[in-house]
Amino acid sequence: MDLDKRPQPAPEQPPAGLRASDADRDRVADILREALAEGRLTADEHAERVDGVYRAKTVGDLEPLVRDLPAAGTRPAYEPASPPAASPAAPTPGAVPPEADENLVAVFSSTVRRGRWRVGRRTHVYSIFGSVEIDLSEALFEYQQVVIKAISVFGNVEISVPENISLRGNGGGVFGNFEVHTLDSPEHDAPVVFVDGLAVLGNIEARPRRGRFIRDLQHKLRKYLD
Q: Looking at the structure, do residues 191 and 113 belong to the same domain, yes or no?
A: yes
Q: What is the structure's pLDDT at 16?
A: 62
5 within a domain of the structure (yes/no) = no
Q: What is the structure's pLDDT at 46?
A: 85
Q: Looking at the structure, do residues 215 and 179 belong to the same domain, yes or no?
A: yes
69 within a domain of the structure (yes/no) = yes
Q: Looking at the structure, do residues 22 and 107 belong to the same domain, yes or no?
A: no
Q: Looking at the structure, do residues 58 and 120 belong to the same domain, yes or no?
A: no
Q: Which of 154, 150, 165 is CA-nearest to residue 195?
A: 150
Q: Looking at the structure, do residues 179 and 217 belong to the same domain, yes or no?
A: yes
State CA 151 to chain mean position distance: 23
185 within a domain of the structure (yes/no) = yes
Q: Name the burial class of residue 129, with classes exposed (0-12), middle (13-18) and buried (19+) by CB atoms within 10 angstroms of its CB.
A: middle
Q: Looking at the structure, do residues 107 and 219 belong to the same domain, yes or no?
A: yes
Q: Decide: pTM greater than 0.85.
A: no
DSSP track, 101-133? SEEEEEESSEEEE-SS-EEPSEEEEEEESSEEE
96 within a domain of the structure (yes/no) = no
Q: What is the structure's pLDDT at 74?
A: 45
178 within a domain of the structure (yes/no) = yes
Domain end marker among 54, 74, 94: 74
Instruction: Report the chain (226 residues): mean pLDDT per 10 consecutive residues.
Output: 50 64 81 83 86 85 87 47 64 85 95 92 96 93 93 97 91 95 84 95 92 57 48
Separation between Cα atoms, residue 74 and residue 176, nearest integer Å: 49
Q: Are 125 and 101 in contact (CB under 8 A)?
A: no
Give the range of the structural domain holding residue 124, as residue numbers without chain letter: 102-225
1 within a domain of the structure (yes/no) = no
Amino acid residing at 119: V
Domain end marker among 57, 74, 91: 74
**Domain count of the chain?**
2
Separation between Cα atoms, residue 23 and residue 4, nearest integer Å: 34
b/e burial code for range 132-157 (CB count within 10 A of at least 16 → b): bbbbbbebebbbbbbbbbbbbbebbb
Q: Looking at the structure, do residues 70 and 113 belong to the same domain, yes or no?
A: no
Q: Looking at the structure, do residues 219 and 150 belong to the same domain, yes or no?
A: yes
Q: How large is the angle between the packed helices 43-55 and 22-37, nearest 10 degrees?
A: 180
35 within a domain of the structure (yes/no) = yes
Q: Are 180 and 169 in contact (CB under 8 A)?
A: yes
